[in-house]
């Protein structure tokens, strides 16, 4: 069974979203959205999974302006959210602002968006950054848009639970604190992960391989989820279809 790397990522995201009732994803985040759609499809008939895609008209059930996402998180009505980062360090600090010395930075990124709030209030924040390189995963971020851990007296029902990259899946333990390598995606190995990661992390000597989907899940993904996704992310869905056609020349999608 041929499984594309992005399908491994999407299925991993769906796994990380087990038991959520309400998940929000950013405007330009097709992969988290696909993972959430797969979760919703898998859970159909057992639990209702709500998916909010920021900036989308189709997948927006908010009616109180752009503050409502944050309000609903503050109310405890948002279970999971995805956060990227120009830099992420071993304490799960996230930097969305830039490289160099603030404020006159040598490289400036857009800004922190809602990270400094949602990272505190959403119980299951999944750090998702495909580029797995030492310039992204640094020992110490240049600017803390949102801290990975807080003092015990800080109100913080939320925080990071996992970091997913194109090479591997990490879990985050806020008590220790630090990342632990949970699994390496097919085609990658531990040494490659060590070389590409600028911070220390826990790992087994022989870490497990990130599992792929079973046939039923893959079929659900390539039929229903891909169709749903193409409404909101047509370019991403079209590329996926092209890659599938190339990887599986007979045209069968499952």
Partner 1 sequence: MSEDLRALVRRIQPGMTLALPVDYAGVSMAITGPLIRHGAGDLHLVCVPTGGLQVDQLIGAGLVRSVETSAVSLGEAGGAPRFNDAIKRGNIRVLDATCPAIHAGLMAAQKGVPFMPTRGLIGSDILSNRADWQVIQNPFATGDSIAVIPAIRPDIAIFHAPMADRDGNVWIGRRRELAAMAYAATQTLVTVERIVDHSLLADETTAAGTLPALYVEAIAKAPRGAWPYGLWGEYATDTDELIRYAAAARTAEGFAAYMEQEVRA
Closest to partner 1 by CB, 7 or 172: 172
Closest to partner 1 by CB, 158 or 213: 158
Closest to partner 1 by CB, 46 or 151: 151
Our finding on whether 67 is near partner 1 (CB under 8 A) is: yes
Our finding on whether 251 is near partner 1 (CB under 8 A) is: no
Our finding on whether 22 is near partner 1 (CB under 8 A) is: yes
Closest to partner 1 by CB, 1 or 57: 57
CA distance 26 to 33: 8
Contact pick of 1, 45, 46, 63 for partner 1 (by CB under 8 A): 63
**Neighbouring residues of 43: CB distance < 8 A, sequence distance ≥ 6:** 49
Contact pick of 12, 29, 87, 112 for partner 1 (by CB under 8 A): 112
Our finding on whether 217 is near partner 1 (CB under 8 A) is: no
Binding-residue pattern over the window 32 to 61 for partner 1, x denoting contact by CB under 8 A: ------------------x----x-x---x
Our finding on whether 12 is near partner 1 (CB under 8 A) is: no
């Amino acid at each position: 069974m041929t499984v594309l790397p992005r399908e491994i990522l999407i299925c991993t995201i769906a796994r990380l979203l087990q038991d959520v009732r309400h998940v929000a994803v950013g405007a330009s985040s097709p992969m988290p959205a696909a993972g959430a759609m797969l979760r919703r499809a898998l859970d159909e008939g057992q639990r209702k999974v709500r998916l909010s895609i920021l900036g989308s008209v189709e997948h927006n059930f908010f009616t109180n302006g752009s503050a409502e996402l944050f309000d609903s998180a503050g109310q405890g009505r948002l279970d999971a959210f995805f956060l990227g980062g120009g830099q992420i360090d071993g304490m799960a600090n996230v930097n969305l602002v830039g490289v160099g010395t603030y404020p006159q930075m040598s490289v400036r990124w857009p800004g922190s968006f809602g990270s400094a709030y949602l990272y505190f209030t959403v119980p299951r924040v999944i750090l998702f950054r495909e580029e797995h390189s030492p310039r992204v995963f640094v020992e110490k971020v240049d600017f803390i848009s949102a801290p990975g851990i807080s003092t015990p007296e800080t109100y913080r029902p939320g925080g990071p639970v996992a970091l997913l990259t194109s090479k591997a899946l990490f879990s985050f333990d806020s008590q220790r604190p630090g990342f632990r390598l949970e699994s390496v995606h097919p085609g990658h190995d531990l040494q490659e992960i060590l070389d590409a990661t600028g911070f220390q992390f826990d790992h087994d000597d022989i870490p497990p391989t990130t599992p792929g989907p079973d046939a039923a899940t893959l079929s659900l993904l390539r039929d229903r989820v891909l169709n749903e996704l193409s409404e909101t992310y047509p370019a991403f869905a079209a590329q996926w279809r092209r890659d599938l056609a190339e990887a599986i020349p007979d045209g069968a999608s499952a």
